[in-house]
Amino acid sequence: MKGIVFTEFLEMVEAAHGIDLAYELQELPGLASGGVFTAIGTYDVEDFLIMLELLTERLGTSMDDLMKGYGEHLFGRFVVLFPDLFLGKTDSLAFLASIEQTIHAEVLKLYPEAELPFFDLAYEGETLVMTYSSKRPMASFAEGLMDGCLLYFGDNRTFTREDLDGQDGTRAVFRVR
Amino acid sequence: MSEAGESPDRAELEALWLRRLQRERAARKQAEFLIEAKSRELYEANLELSAHRSKLERLVVERTRELEEATDQAQAANRAKSLFLASISHEIRTPLTAILGYSELLTREAPKERHRQGWVRGLRSNSEHLHSLVDNVLDLSQIEAGELVVIMESADVLTLTAEVLAALRPMADRKGVGLTLKCEGPIPRRIETDPLKVRQVLINLVGNAINHTREGSVSVVLSRLGSPEVDRARLGFCVLDTGSGIPREMQAQIFESFVQLKKSGGRPGQGAGLGLSISRRLARLLGGDLEVESELGRGSRFTLTLPDEGQEVAEVVSGEELQDLAWAESSPAIGSASLLHGRRVLVVEDGEDNRRILEYILGAEGGQVRCAVNGQLGVDAFLEAEREGEPFDLVLMDMEMPVMDGYQATGRLGELGCKVPIVALTAGAMSTDRQKCLAAGCAAYLTKPFSLARFCETLNDLLGAQEPTLAESSSLPVEGGRGQSALGDQLPARIINAYLAGLADSAQQLRDASARADWGVVRRLLHQLRGSGGSYGYPEITAASDRCNGSLEDESTRASAIEEFARFLESY
């Protein structure tokens, strides 16, 4: 997983719960990275899940809620960090529909080795049907990102989520309208 | 705060901060390393790109050069073609001008008999020249296009050479030039070659030799070149003359197209300067070559060499055998037309004039001629004759006719089990036309204008093989050799007059068809007039038909072109 997901995560924890908790997460045993993260590196997704695990314990929040919350936060950060990606975009549906062609294409230019989640797009009438599939059980993270997206565009769209494949969070269908 | 009390906390805190500091440093180094690696990657990608760009630039330079070369070649070829066209156009205009001039003289004035004969001779010799020129140009273009078909067969060397000499003897006699045939040492009696092509080359060489010899003689010497042990043994046909010779600097050039020697007095010789060019190419097509040795003022020796591998070699007894050949030379070289005597011939031809002329010629040769005006009627006539128990011995078939054309009719006759040889008559002179006719089932192929000499040759092959007839003396002079002109001056006046009188009708038919805008009929009439003009010895009608046909495409001028042509026809 891209380093920026880790560094932004740690910064969020630091801002919300103090530097000590952030450092505590980095000191967790079992992190393949040794807790050393940079935005331009690539790290094992397992490290992210280990840190989340501890955070659920400390904050008493569910894993899904944490992922969702972080997803929503990260989208807001993307808007700040990569304003070019949002130039001229006014519609959340159009933006979501163009993720594969624009956002993921941009990411792959800089990080050709990046393993990105895949969205299969279809339309049911006016409804955009996005089927999420990933090696990682992070459908909630995707849901959070979508929350952040709708919040950013503020165009009164809504979406539903339906988990597939035994509901382990690796495959889910989002219907946006 | 006591030292001892603070120390453990402080130490712990310091250790904590140290670890955090080390982690931050590690992160920084990792980032630096990643950025460095990325930079290196970019640098290498850049290098690769610029190498690729240089390669592309080199490729562009190379391709541009290739393109320039190709353009140069195309331009050179274009210039050569233009030069060829200019030369051919000049060569065609020269006799054409003479033909038009003489014919105008003949139509305008009532000349004295002495003048008239001279003018007609002029007409005829210029037409012959034009005819051979067109044949040569066709040959040359076929050779250049790689379309010339070589038909290899076993050919009798002595007979072939003797026939050529026989054909040219009248020309040599007129000039008072001797013509002899010799053999040096043993030679193969037969070789595998295309006898028609060899004959064409020899006629050209011997004809040239006679032309360039004012006094003395021309001899053809056959000999085997190289030792018999050598694999590539060759038969040599040397044509020696005692003519004016060829300057050394011209010797290489004479084999190029449109190069000809000036005759003494600065006048260029006859022909378009294509004969030797064609001859050398033909020789090479046959696996041989054509070379020249010459000394100015002493004469020239042209040597045609042909492969003769694996042929049995026999000594030619110089006395008796060449005597026999000498006899052969003095007799008509090409089969007698009286082969036709008593033969039933079906002429299928839509052009009235061509029909009339064929009927006359074949009739004069003792043939029993019946005519049909299209393929369908031809097939009907054929079947009727079979039913009546008087089947035809030969069919002459025009290939382009209304209702049913010659190809269809030939095919139909084949389906009906016709075994009688069908000879195609067509104005198309390309080898593809020949193939088309043979594929349709024709046994032989003749091009218009009709030439009795070629017809006799063909007849000899077809009928002579079937049933050898003892030759009776022919009522028509039989000419040998290739490129004989049409038979106009051998036809009796009544036939020619009938033809000329019919021209006014043709003119009216043309006008009527033009008024009805029936261009199919116009084209057919023009096609007939084109063919008959050549056959009756009026090449200017052929030329004018062609011109008129050429202007049919242009809607704005075709009516006036037809009117002009009709008036031209009425002037006869």
Query: Of B446 and B115, which is predicted with more confidence?
Result: B446
Answer yes or no: are the C-beta atoms of A121 and A100 closer than 8 Å.
Answer: yes
Q: Residue B30: closest CA among chain A residues belongs to which residue?
A: A38
* pLDDT exceeds 50 at position B328: no
Average pLDDT, chain B: 78
In angstroms, the Cα distances linking B504 to B359, B436, B500 are 22, 35, 8
Q: Residue A36: closest CA among chain B residues belongs to which residue?
A: B27
Q: What is the pLDDT of residue B232?
A: 65
Across B404-410, average pLDDT: 90
Q: Residue B27: closest CA among chain A residues belongs to which residue?
A: A36
Q: Which of B16, B20, B27 sits opposite A38 (nearest CB)?
A: B27
Query: Of B291 and B167, which is predicted with more confidence?
Result: B291
Q: Which of A48-52, B211-215, B484-488 holds the top average pLDDT? A: A48-52
* pLDDT exceeds 50 at position B383: yes
Confidence of residue B326 (pLDDT cuts 50, 70, 90): very low
Confidence of residue B450 (pLDDT cuts 50, 70, 90): low
Q: Residue B23: closest CA among chain A residues belongs to which residue?
A: A36
B 29-68 → A contacts, CB under 8 A:
30-31, 34-35, 38
Query: Of B395 and B492, which is predicted with more confidence?
Result: B395
Chain A residues whose CB is inside 8 A of the B30 CB are 36, 38, 41
Chain segment A135-176, per-residue pLDDT in tens: 888 999 999 999 999 999 998 899 999 998 777 888 999 999
Q: What is the pLDDT of residue B228?
A: 53
- Check A40 against B34: CB less than 8 A apart: yes
* pLDDT exceeds 50 at position B267: no
Residues facing residue A128 across a β-bridge = A123, A176
Q: Which of A26, A27, A38 sits opposite B34 (nearest CB)?
A: A38
Answer yes or no: are the C-beta atoms of A117 and A134 closer than 8 Å.
Answer: yes
- Check B34 against A34: CB less than 8 A apart: no
Q: Residue A23: closest CA among chain B residues belongs to which residue?
A: B20
Q: What is the pLDDT of residue B242?
A: 86
Q: How much of chain B, in percent, has pLDDT values that exceed 70?
A: 81
- Check B23 against A34: CB less than 8 A apart: yes
Query: Of A125 and B314, which is predicted with more confidence?
Result: A125
Q: Do the strands B190-193 and B187-188 form a parallel or antiparallel pair, or are they unpaired?
A: unpaired
Find the DSSP H helices in A89-160: 92-97, 104-110, 139-153
Across B367-382, average pLDDT: 90
Q: What is the pLDDT of residue B488?
A: 38
Chain B residues whose CB is inside 8 A of the A40 CB are 31, 34-35, 38
A 24-43 → B contacts, CB under 8 A:
26-27, 34-41
CB count in 10 Å sphere of residue B472:
12
Cα-Cα end-to-end distance for chain A:
30
Q: What is the pLDDT of residue A55?
A: 95
Q: Tokens representing B561?
A: 């072109």
* Contact partners, residue B129, CB within 8 Å, separation at least 6: B95, B270, B271
> Does this complex have an ipTM over 0.85?
no
* pLDDT exceeds 90 at position B52: yes
Task: Report DSSP letters for B57-71, one per residue.
Answer: HHHHHHHHHHHHHHH
Q: Best of A2, A26, A31, A38 to disrupt the B interface by mutation (most B CBs within 10 Å)?
A: A38
Chain segment A73-89, per-residue pLDDT in tens: 999 999 999 898 888 88
Confidence of residue B261 (pLDDT cuts 50, 70, 90): low
Q: Which of B16, B23, B34 sits opposite A41 (nearest CB)?
A: B34
- Check A36 against B19: CB less than 8 A apart: no
- Check A35 against B23: CB less than 8 A apart: yes
Chain segment B491-530, per-residue pLDDT in tens: 666 667 777 878 888 888 888 888 888 888 888 888 888 8
By mean pLDDT, which of B312-316, B493-497, B562-566 is the weakest? Answer: B312-316
CB count in 10 Å sphere of residue B4:
7
Chain segment B168-179, per-residue pLDDT in tens: 887 888 888 888
- Check B20 against A38: CB less than 8 A apart: no
Q: Best of B19, B23, B32 to disrupt the A interface by mutation (most A CBs within 10 Å)?
A: B23
Query: Of B167 and B241, which is predicted with more confidence?
Result: B241
What is the largest distance, in Å, between two alpha-carbon atoms of chain B? 159
A111 interface with B at CB cutoff 8 Å: no
Q: Best of A40, A110, A113 to disrupt the B interface by mutation (most B CBs within 10 Å)?
A: A40
Cis peptide before B449 (omega within 30 of 0): yes
Q: Best of B34, B36, B44 to disrupt the A interface by mutation (most A CBs within 10 Å)?
A: B34
B19 interface with A at CB cutoff 8 Å: yes
Q: Residue B29: closest CA among chain A residues belongs to which residue?
A: A38
Q: Best of B19, B25, B28, B30 to disrupt the A interface by mutation (most A CBs within 10 Å)?
A: B30
Q: Which of B20, B30, B38 sits opposite A38 (nearest CB)?
A: B30
Chain A residues whose CB is inside 8 A of the B20 CB are 23
Q: Which of B107-116, B202-211, B440-449, B492-501 holds the top average pLDDT? A: B202-211
Q: What is the pLDDT of residue B490?
A: 54
Chain B residues whose CB is inside 8 A of the A39 CB are 31
Helix axes B406-415, B375-387, angle to 10 degrees: 30
* pLDDT exceeds 60 at position B335: no
Answer yes or no: are the C-beta atoms of B209 and B241 closer than 8 Å.
Answer: yes
* Contact partners, residue B343, CB within 8 Å, separation at least 6: B366, B367, B368, B393, B394, B463
- Check A36 against B23: CB less than 8 A apart: yes
Chain A residues whose CB is inside 8 A of the B38 CB are 40
Chain segment A101-123, per-residue pLDDT in tens: 888 888 888 788 787 777 888 99
Chain A residues whose CB is inside 8 A of the B32 CB are none
Confidence of residue B237 (pLDDT cuts 50, 70, 90): very high
B23 interface with A at CB cutoff 8 Å: yes
Q: Is B111 helix (H, G, I), strand (E, B) or coil?
A: coil
Closest CA of chain B from A42, distance in Å: 10
- pTM (2 d.p.): 0.40
In angstroms, the Cα distances linking B553 to B410, B520, B548, B558 are 31, 12, 10, 7
Q: What is the pLDDT of residue B313?
A: 64
Q: How much of chain B, in percent, has pLDDT values that exceed 90?
A: 16
Closest CA of chain B from A15, distance in Å: 17
CB count in 10 Å sphere of residue B10:
12
Q: Residue B28: closest CA among chain A residues belongs to which residue?
A: A38
Chain segment B464-487, per-residue pLDDT in tens: 544 433 233 222 223 333 223 344
Chain segment A16-45, per-residue pLDDT in tens: 999 999 999 999 999 999 999 999 889 999
Angstrom distance (rounded) from CA B445 to CA A81: 89
- Check B30 against A41: CB less than 8 A apart: yes
Q: What is the pLDDT of residue B483?
A: 29
Angstrom distance (rounded) from CA B492 to CA B287: 46
